[in-house]
Amino acid sequence: MELSLPLNYAGDPRAACDHVAALESAGLDAVWVAEAYGFDSPTLMGYLAARTERMKIGAAILNVYSRTPALIAQTGAGLDAVSGGRALLGLGASGPQVVEGWHGKPYDRPLGRTRETVELCRRIWRREVIDHHGITDMPLPKEKGGKLGKPLKILTRPVRDTIPLYVASLGPANVRMTAEIADGWLPTLYIPEKARQVWGTALAEGAAKRDPELGPLQTVAGGLLAIGDDAAAVRDMARPQIALYVGGMGARGKNFYNDLAVAYGYEKEAATIQDLYLSGKKREAEAAVPDEFCELMTLCGPEGYVRDRIEAFREAGVTMLNVTPVGPEPARLISTVKNWLQGA
């Protein structure tokens, strides 16, 4: 199991990147850079590539609406080149709030767009001449206004023609597709003890169609990390994130994270959190998050307890533990967990 960390993109991005770079020597294997509707992730990933030597640098995520498949492929190839083959490309459909509200694009055909982007990225990195017609037309045909376009291949030679593609997915159909075509999976609000009941069937159905050459699906998940007799109190720091996603990420009746909370068995609590959050009562929404939800999606407590939590994530199929260390010595926490993962 590898060890990664999500970049905190709130506040000063340069300071956040410098903080992550300093953790490389402590054993951090990878960093995941989100963008949502904040700073774009490729800019920060390029800065991280210059500040680090060994760790992998991942986008989590680039949505498949605001950039064309060709631009996503170019971005992945460029990041892989400047990092010396350390790029990980996380893709996803994001949600209507970001896609329509921020990017001004209709939120349509999310699965088809994701599948097409994965296919085209791989073809572009292999330096194929692209003549593709689907959701995206390359080149633009005459009947759609095209005049001078002709099939092209990427000018430069990518460092790798197999840059790992991870997909962020939650719903059954999307997870099924992820297990079929992606190199890795980026689930959110992941509870290892409940993962099989929510996604087991979809993962198995997708794996049955998977090309053996892709190898096993990699899974990235984790949460807040704190070790110590008083570390359990840190779990409460997960409440704002859970409340935001379950309550405020999307409209009533169209919130993927709320659907996930329901699938976990928190149906009444999910409805309460959403009602409170959408009414502007964020603190009350945070208080309504079940204690169990906070506990099971974090790794906070005495040493033996945290070791058990790590094993729970491992047994659920997680191959990269994605943690946010909390406390005055993040490097020590990263080093400690890395040693555990290596069997030291």
49-68 pLDDT, tens digit per residue, is 999 999 999 999 999 999 99
- CB count within 10 Å of CB 237 equals 16
pLDDT number for residue 33: 97
Q: What CA–CA distance (Å, rounded) separates 93 from 157?
A: 28
pLDDT number for residue 118: 98
Q: What is the mean pLDDT of residues 24-49?
A: 96
Evaluate if residue 210 carries a pLDDT over 70: yes
pLDDT-derived band at 226 (thresholds 50, 70, 90) equals: very high
Q: What CA–CA distance (Å, rounded) separates 87 from 83?
A: 7
| Number of residues in the chain | 344
pLDDT number for residue 343: 84
For 290, list phi and psi in degrees, rounded to 5.
Answer: -60, 140
Q: Which two tokens stand for residue 218?
A: 């990699």
**C-alpha distance from residue 102 to each of 91, 195, 254 (Å):** 17, 31, 17
Q: What is the mean pLDDT of residues 13-18?
A: 93
Q: What CA–CA distance (Å, rounded) separates 203 from 53?
A: 34
Q: Which of 7-11, 296-300, 334-338 has the lowest mean pLDDT?
A: 7-11
Q: What is the mean pLDDT of residues 293-322?
A: 98
pLDDT number for residue 48: 97
pLDDT averaged over every residue in the chain: 96
pLDDT number for residue 152: 98
230-283 pLDDT, tens digit per residue, is 999 999 999 999 999 999 987 788 899 999 999 999 999 999 999 999 999 999
User: Which residues make Cβ contacts (< 8 Å) with residue 219, sequence separation at least 6?
Assistant: 184, 185, 187, 316, 317, 318, 319, 320
- Mapped onto helix, strand or coil, the DSSP state of residue 197 is helix
Q: What CA–CA distance (Å, rounded) separates 294 from 333?
A: 20
Task: Identify which of 200, 129, 203 has the alpha carbon closest to the alpha carbon of residue 167.
Answer: 203
103-124 pLDDT, tens digit per residue, is 999 999 999 999 999 999 999 9
pLDDT number for residue 56: 98
Q: What is the mean pLDDT of residues 121-148?
A: 96
Superfamily for domain range 1-168:
Luciferase-like domain (3.20.20.30)
Evaluate if residue 10 carries a pLDDT over 80: no
Q: Which two tokens stand for residue 91?
A: 């893709």
pLDDT number for residue 344: 55
- Mapped onto helix, strand or coil, the DSSP state of residue 109 is coil
Q: What CA–CA distance (Å, rounded) separates 259 from 268?
A: 12
pLDDT number for residue 95: 87
